[in-house]
Structure 1
Amino acid sequence: MFLSATALWAGVLSSRAIPGYAAGDDAAPAPSALPSAESPDFDFETLVLRMKEKAGTAHAQVTPDLPELLSGLDYDQHRAIRFSPDRAVWKDSEGSYRLHAFHPGWLYNETVDLYEIVDGKARPLAFTGADFDYGAPLDADRFRDLTLPGIAGFRLHHPLNTPEFFDELIVFLGASYFRALGKGNVYGLSARGLAVDTAVGGPEEFPRFTRFYLERPAKGAREMRLYAELDSESVTGAYQFTIKPGINTVVEVDARIFLRSDVERLGIAPLTSMFLFGENDRLGFDDYRPEVHDNDGLMILRGDGQRLWRPLRNPGSLALSFFREESPAGFGLLQRDRGFDHYQDTEAKYQRRPSLWIEPVNDWGSGQVMLAEIPADKEIHDNIVAFWVPEAGAVAGSEHRFAYRMIWGQDPEPGTELARVIATGTGHGGAAASDPDPDLRKFVVEFAGDTMSGLGADDPVEPRLSVRNGSVRHKHLQRLEGGTWRAILDIEREAPDRSVEMILALQLDGSDITETWLYQWSGNS
């Protein structure tokens, strides 16, 4: 559950294209589908039936016997291997996508198989050492004639930011992890195909995408479609991904899931991110940067239109939050704060990390959005997890279908007339000159939006506030210059061994004019 972002994504290049890598370059021929009269017909429903049948058999862990040349690679050696751009799959086609492979070895000893779908038939794609560049400290001659038993993963390139360059668009690498970019983004949070038994008190299971089928991109087509087989001890699955790049890149997912055995907690559309510190939670970090995080909040859009905003934290101990919903309209991990001055990091560029919004397509019924916040002391660790937990029993023999859109980009959350939470600050309670009291804390929440900007300080705006395991010592609402509204709360904790839960929205004439702010105060943050 506690994941190293560096480990999972070592070898992923920056989100910009390699300079000079353009559509018309002359180069050596790229890997291609192996010709075979035996190439089977392919369609998604047949894949679904095959994975359903597979769920009725025992899981067989298949780990390729990598040659010592690969299995013995260390971190520095593996990161010295790069796919050669002039060997990109479909480089000589008229389509607008290019495929690069990731080399097996180091952490990536479980390989995946790739197939290309042409005229309805699936043909295997093969890669060799000739498709990669081997830099120092490796001896390239030792790898030149190497036949690979599969690849670690792949990425797709597309002219996302400018017509001249094939930028990285989406990466599938490690277990069922993948991540995508909207225009102007750099890589940040990740998604997974499925989460199994996350934070249940025992070992977490990580299903793997073991095989991918990619439709050869047609000339002029902006969409890309691919399919994946999912497999693990407890589940199998068939996934269809339809990728639509743009200012916000949309990935449409059709997930068919089959359970081999009972699962205590099934996580649908899992999101994995990093929050080290921010304006609401800086304790223990001596850093010139004001904030360090891939995302700053979880947003939930309820079926009745209510919007919930929960700022993320880096807690002192594992914190789990559950938000019960009926047919949710969406949820996601967002990076709302886009100002460079709030991060001051010219390399990580946290202000350009994507938000990811999940929008159900079919009816997901009853369940919960789960948020896990895990203590972390370095920004290399992904310590935030969010996903949907269906109420319907995840029992052996059951099958499930979840269709949803994933929207990756600068601002993918749906529009609203409600004012949004734009900042959350915390500090010791009471007056500035008072001595800190560990059971008294101040919370400052700011709202902004068109519905509030025209209101004057004399308009009857009132807070709707509820507190569990605490009492309100002081509350004050004020209008700031520019139309932002600020709520200032002093909250006194009751039972010191339990978290304080707070809910706040601003109302006019008894109706909410803002989204609802949720917060959990545990420890002293």
Structure 2
Amino acid sequence: MAVQADAQSPEATETFGPNLPEPFNFENVAALAEERAASVYTQPVSKLVGSFADLDYDKYRGIRFRKDRDPLGGSKQFSVDLLSPGTIFYEPVQINLVRDGISEHIPFDPSMLEFDPSQFPDGADLETVGDMGWSGFRMRTFLNRPGVMDEFLVFQGASYFRAVARGTLYGLSARGLAIKTGSPDGEEFPLFTDFWIVEPQPGDEGVRIYAILDSKSVAAAYQFDVTPGAVTMVRTRMALFPRVDLRETGLAPLTSMFWFSPASRRAVDDYRPACHDSDGLQMHTGAGQNLWRGLMSPRNLQISSFVDSNPKGFGLVQRAREFETFQDAEALYHLRPSAWIEPEGDWGDGEVRLIEIPVENEFNDNIVSYWLPKDVIPGGQRTEFRYRLSFSALPPSDLPLAKVRQVRSGRSINVETTRSYIIDFDLGMFRDQLPQFQVSASEGRIVHAYLKALPEQHVLRLAFEFEPGRAELAELRAALTDNEGLALSETWMSRWAA
């Protein structure tokens, strides 16, 4: 919920006992962020020297955090690795540990690192190294196997962070804020500059992390309550202190990669049938609609807006969960997680915005989604938002609607300028009787549409052809319905561009 908050909250008045100082909490971080916002922004940059200068990818990977220097060494449930600066990570990050309510700074110390002798045969040059700051941190817990601590969360680089759930591998990323993404004026990349990791207590199933984000336009305080598991939940609270009115600022942003799939395979010569971290944007609107917008790698940058009021949820999803979909034994794209955003409270009017950027390989993220409020977030005052961000194989679903299983598209065998589309829905409740369907295009014409059950494949196939005519751009939609037009499936959407 977006609210104008007082400087103190009930949380800030808690104490551990008589005559003891107040424990470090969210309001401490908010006060620091508000102080930052009152000053002119200066981007922090470290001068990398000694063995941290001019590192290539392999050398950087040869620097590892020493397990015996774990700040959470007393925890039986969690461990943390502090990450070295180097390569593209040159902004200093200050990391603190909150123990018994007291914040303790952890200065950068190269003696806490190990240097792979195969990458540093002459040893590491640490004599000229000062406090360059860390570049981030990663956390581990018992996630997949008894007795083995697996990595489940990492904060590193600008305001990016990633998490995994049980049985998944790192894929898409979340971000603190998205400012002017896709703007012709250029994007503004805010930074997480400070973190406070709260030492978990015995029996804790999750960990609390505070952070400060800073940029030219805004300073902000964050609280992340992270609970790893079959669904890794990141419950998020943020207090924004804008230096200016925020107009093109996306909340709860997600960033992913989509190169090609059977639905969008433009000029790709690759042995794999598909290559992506996410294959669609799923939305549960405030009006109760369930939407699925398939992703694409366009010829030109594309921006799509889905107007809504008080959205129930949205996220970037990897529905393709079978190895056969990708045939990639190294990247294992079928194990990449989905990320789902559930706003807490009233987010008001706005839009889910999707940005798709042209890409020619799988090494750069090119998909961004976020919530863009309709109203300006005013400068000079505090505004709060809260939401739940879950990482899991698939997002939760509470409605008995048929979902899009797979989409294929290609040039029609009959007319070169016509496009064929094949949409497979879950067969589910339609085994005995076929439903009705609706297919539409904002421009051009839909022809030869039909519906067919494929029981052995457990899908209901909707096929049609799209004749664009003179159109340069068209929005396509399709859904299964009953005889009265009531939706029996989520609504599939796609954009066609010349």
Q: TM-score, normalised by structure 1?
A: 0.87
- Secondary structure at the counterpart of residue 82 of structure 1: strand
Aligned equivalent of 1:155: 138
Question: Which amino acid in structure 2 is aligned with residue 154 of structure 1?
Answer: F
- Structure 1 residue 326: Cα displacement: 0.4
What is the distance in 2 between the residues matched to 1:75 and 1:337? 30
1:387 correspondence with 2:366: no
Report the counterpart of residue 443 of structure 1 in structure 2: 421
1:399-478 correspondence to structure 2 within 5 Å: 399-429=382-412, 432=413, 434=414, 436-438=415-417, 440-452=418-430, 454-456=431-433, 459=434, 461-478=435-452
The Cα of 1:474 is off from its aligned counterpart by: 1.8
1:79-478 alignment runs, 5 A limit: 79-91=61-73, 93-135=74-116, 136-138=118-120, 139-143=122-126, 146-429=129-412, 432=413, 434=414, 436-438=415-417, 440-452=418-430, 454-456=431-433, 459=434, 461-478=435-452
Cα shift readout 1:124-144 (whole Å, capped 9, x = no counterpart) = 113422222212332334238
1:90/1:147 CA distance change after superposition, 3 Å? farther
- Counterpart-to-counterpart distance in 2, 1:67 and 1:146: 6
- Which of these residues, 41, 48, 52, is aligned with residue 70 of structure 1? 52
Amino acid at match of 2:473: S
Partner of 2:476: 502
Instruction: Give 1:147 shift.
Output: 4.9
> Is the Cα–Cα contact under 8 Å of residues 501 and 520 in structure 1 kept in the other structure?
yes
Distance in 1, matches of 2:429 and 2:349, equals: 32
User: Aligned equivalents of 1:64 and 1:223: distance in 2?
Assistant: 32
Q: Secondary structure at the match of 1:86?
A: helix
Shift in Å at residue 450 of structure 1? 3.0
- 1:31 maps to none
Q: Deviations over 1:259-298 (max 9, x none)?
A: 1023341011110100111110112111111111001100
Report SS of the residue matched to 1:512: coil
Which residue type is aligned with residue 268 of structure 1?
A: L
Unaligned runs of 5+ in 2: 1-20
One-letter amino acid of the structure 2 residue matched with residue 502 of structure 1: L
Question: Matched residues in 1 for 2:283 and 2:470: separation?
Answer: 28
- Counterparts of 1:66 and 1:488 in 2: how far apart (Å)? 57
Contact conserved, 2:51 with 2:124, CA < 8 A, in 1?
A: no
Shift of 1:80: 2.0
Aligned to 1:48, the other structure's residue is in SS state helix
User: Partners of 2:65 and 2:400 in 1: how far apart?
Assistant: 47
Q: 2:145 aligns to what SS in structure 1?
A: coil
Q: Is the 8 A contact 1:451 1:513 kept in 2?
A: no
Provide the rounded CA distance (Å) in 1 between the counterparts of 2:302 and 2:387: 27
Q: Which runs of 5+ in 1 are unaligned?
A: 1-38
Are the counterparts in 2 of residues 129 and 148 from structure 1 also a CA contact under 8 Å? Answer: no
Structure-2 separation of matches of 1:343 and 1:183: 21
User: What amino acid maps onto 2:416 in structure 1?
Assistant: D
Matched, 1:490 2:465: yes
Distance 1:328 1:451 in 2: 27
Please name the residue that 1:513 is paired with.
488
Aligned equivalent of 1:15: none
Contact preservation (8 Å) 1:445, 1:486: yes
Matched-pair contact (CA < 8 Å) for 2:224–2:234: yes
Structure 1 contact 265–394 (Cα < 8 Å) conserved: no
Equivalent residues, number: 474
What SS class does the counterpart of residue 77 from structure 2 fall into? coil
| Stretch moving more, 129-138 or 310-319 | 129-138
Conservation of the 8 A alpha-carbon contact between 1:418 and 1:451: no
One-letter amino acid of the structure 1 residue matched with residue 469 of structure 2: E
Given the alignment, which residue of 16, 27, 31 partners 1:45?
Answer: 27
Letter in 2 for 1:406: L
- The answer to whether the 8 Å contact 1:95/1:217 transfers is no
Match of 2:3 in 1: none
> Using the alignment, how far apart are the partners of 2:153 and 2:257 within structure 1?
19
Q: 1:38-70 CA deviation, whole Å, 9 max, x = no partner?
A: x99522123213312332221123323433542
Q: Would you say the 8 A contact 1:248–1:411 is kept in 2?
A: no
In 2, the alpha carbon distance for the partners of 1:132 and 1:46 equals 30
Q: Which amino acid aligns with 2:36?
A: K
* 2:159/2:191 contact within 8 Å kept: yes
Is the 2:49–2:129 Cα contact (8 Å) retained in structure 1? Answer: no
Instruction: State the match for 1:17 in structure 2.
Output: none
| Cα distance in 2, alignment partners of residues 125 and 187 from structure 1 | 27
Deviation, structure 1 residue 381: 0.8
Is the 1:352–1:410 Cα contact (8 Å) retained in structure 2? yes
1:342 match: secondary structure: helix
Q: Could you tell me which amino acid in structure 2 is paired with residue 399 of structure 1?
A: R
Contact 1:297 1:334 in 2 (8 A): yes
Q: Distance in 2 between matches of 1:455 and 1:389?
A: 43
Which residues of 2 match residues 7-18 of structure 1 at below 5 A?
A: none
Look up the match of 1:481.
Answer: 455
In the aligned structure 1, how far is the partner of 2:359 from the partner of 2:295?
13
**Conserved 8 A contact 2:427-2:460:** no
2:148 partner SS: coil
